[in-house]
Structure 1
Amino acid sequence: PIFALEQAGYKVDKLIITTLQAVSGAGYPGVPSLDMVDNIVPYILEDAQKAEIFLYVPRTPSLSIN
């Protein structure tokens, strides 16, 4: 989708990315709905490392599609 926007002449300066996970699949034991505040699952130590993402953006970004 980003490539299509750029091809159509729109400049993409920033991206805001949000990832969501259902409470039922968050690995949180017990009755999670009682511990949730503002629809946010509390910090789960075991899942923190799995969610870590490393991203490399080259100084001169380029995109080629074959």
Structure 2
Amino acid sequence: MSGLAALDAKCSSRLGLITISYYLWTTFVAVVVGIIMVSIIHPGGAAQKEDSEDSSKPIMSSADALLDLIR
């Protein structure tokens, strides 16, 4: 922290921009990798096939799932 405080404003702002751009880039890469992995693996696909055979269970909506977090 003291090293950053010793820098002048121009160098400090440049370092801040590099840090923010690195964070945004790695977040973007993580999101893309996550979307690709979900497309390949299809998590929950087997559970949906099993549930389609048993029609006695009620179908939950997204709102029900969110409200279950609060309950």
Structure index of larger Rg: 2
Q: Tell me the TM-score normalized by structure 1.
A: 0.23
Normalised by the length of structure 2, the TM-score is 0.23
Q: Which has the higher relative contact order, 1 or 2, with Cα contacts under 8 A spaced 6 or more apart?
A: 1
Structure with the higher helix share, 1 or 2: 2
